[in-house]
Structure 1
């Protein structure tokens, strides 16, 4: 199982290394432009298509959605307490600690570990995370303000529309689906290269802090997911997927959101790198326990 995780995480580091080397060689990289392109266009397309193309039983969908919502609310509350105890900036640290990389790490991991059924469950957890992350999460990172500004975020609209298509079983015409899918394919490579650019300027202090925060995040997430799965009586595969998805490391989108809304993006980049490195160790352990 460790090789499965390595096969998924290794490309993450290879693409980030490209951004790292690019900056070290002195080449120009406009983070603001790339961030706007990915967060306004490619990531919304990626989310919408992923949600629209999944297939899951309505009863299982309802139970897993509620369990995911409860688990994430518990995680957010626990991380808020952690941030306050550690005297850290809520705007910078809360959302990255609460929301994991359920998309480009959690989805393929669920597919390889649990097959098509597990992948369908994983998309549901991803949808709940995306709705919370791109509404409450964006509101936190942006420093509050008008909720209208959050609702107008393209990511929010894409997530809600994708959830509606998932619920109703609708599909766009194939030519539109192919176009949206192609645009969405830009997202992950661009996000990872941008992460490498950020790491090239990362301070050692940020990495030291990121390691212990990432370790505590794992404990909080696994505990919350296990409790929610037991409370809602999820079947073994759904429970396992929920635990793995919520325990995924900090997402690259957290760094891009910090850049976009003017939060301190460097510590967030440190969290992404540290938590992803740790995931190579703890995700196989979690999978060995839940399978």
Structure 2
């Protein structure tokens, strides 16, 4: 219980600091945008490279990995079905809604939370690996397409293969697959830059809330509430069904699978949408609502399953 509360308090305090920095004028003008661009172009790639290069690729075929894929797919498809029936949104907003419904905040909350609660970051790292290898490339490709109207296949491919997030992830996985050992003099600065990724994204997110009214004018409220409900309630339920009934998990393994699925929408969804200017308000408001709404869900899970 204390681990859940501690993890949420850490994230919330940094978001609040970002809001305060914007409120007091320290982050004025395009300050939040600068933070986002630094996170997108340098800090997050460094983080993903360091994580991927040290990953155990055997986890790609583990039950936790397959369960994470199923939970994400179930959440995303649930949103897509609701959107098709009720919202009839365009491609970009639908993709952002689908991703917001299933992309878990493993970096900022998942890693510290699983460490505090379970004493092991392995479970969150598996989902981080899945999201990096499978979800992020597809999401970024969709954002590139949505931001440019109807771009050519060549433009999408060029933008995709020159994307720092994709390049860093691919490089890290290559290092892990080949079993290379990166010299400490190279990894040390990468680790230092990687350590700034989470604070930068959280500060940028908090700063973006200054002057904004979540669920206020201009916010796609039905879409935000739908994505938030799916992320907070439906996705953990899917994860439980898949883990318990599909893979026969129990005890700590089952609790870990459900707890990670109950994480709020990752700030990276907001960061990516802000980078490409696609459905930014939907992503921002869903991140905020799920960060608040998933807290009681995770507390209940800790009480019932831990």
Trace 1:52-201 onto structure 2 (pairs within 5 A).
Answer: 52-54=53-55, 58=58, 62-87=62-87, 88=89, 89-116=93-120, 119-144=121-146, 145=151, 146=153, 147-148=156-157, 149-167=159-177, 169-201=179-211
After TM superposition, give the deviation of residue 286 of structure 1 in Å. 2.0
Once residues 250 and 264 of structure 1 are traced to their aligned partners in structure 2, the CA distance between those partners, rounded to angstroms, is: 15
Deviations 1:168-194 (A, max 9, x none): 554322222211110011111111111
Once residues 127 and 285 of structure 2 are traced to their aligned partners in structure 1, the CA distance between those partners, rounded to angstroms, is: 25
Match of 2:282 in 1: 267
RMSD, matched Cα: 2.6
Match of 1:20 in 2: 19
Match of 1:217 in 2: 231
Once residues 113 and 208 of structure 1 are traced to their aligned partners in structure 2, the CA distance between those partners, rounded to angstroms, is: 33
Gaps spanning 5+ residues in structure 2: where? none
Checking the alignment, whether the CA contact within 8 Å between 1:249 and 1:276 is kept in structure 2 is yes
Match of 1:35 in 2: 36
Checking the alignment, whether the CA contact within 8 Å between 1:54 and 1:166 is kept in structure 2 is yes
Change (3 A) 1:141 1:82: farther
After TM superposition, give the deviation of residue 271 of structure 1 in Å. 1.2
Deviations 1:24-65 (A, max 9, x none): 334424233322211111101112212334558x47853332
Once residues 92 and 202 of structure 1 are traced to their aligned partners in structure 2, the CA distance between those partners, rounded to angstroms, is: 19
Once residues 122 and 67 of structure 2 are traced to their aligned partners in structure 1, the CA distance between those partners, rounded to angstroms, is: 15
Checking the alignment, whether the CA contact within 8 Å between 1:52 and 1:162 is kept in structure 2 is yes
Change (3 A) 1:114 1:61: farther
Match of 2:265 in 1: 250
Checking the alignment, whether the CA contact within 8 Å between 1:95 and 1:141 is kept in structure 2 is no
Change (3 A) 1:129 1:257: same
Structure 1 residue runs of 4 or more that deviate by more than 6 Å after TM superposition: none
Deviations 1:192-224 (A, max 9, x none): 111112111322424965455412322221122
Change (3 A) 1:266 1:126: same
TM-score with structure 2 setting the length = 0.83
Change (3 A) 1:39 1:25: same
- Is 1:284 aligned with 2:288? no
Match of 1:11 in 2: 10
Number of aligned residues: 287
Instruction: State the secondary structure of the residue aligned to 1:142.
Output: helix
Deviations 1:48-93 (A, max 9, x none): 212334558x478533323322332222211211333341531442
Once residues 55 and 70 of structure 1 are traced to their aligned partners in structure 2, the CA distance between those partners, rounded to angstroms, is: 20
Once residues 267 and 68 of structure 2 are traced to their aligned partners in structure 1, the CA distance between those partners, rounded to angstroms, is: 21
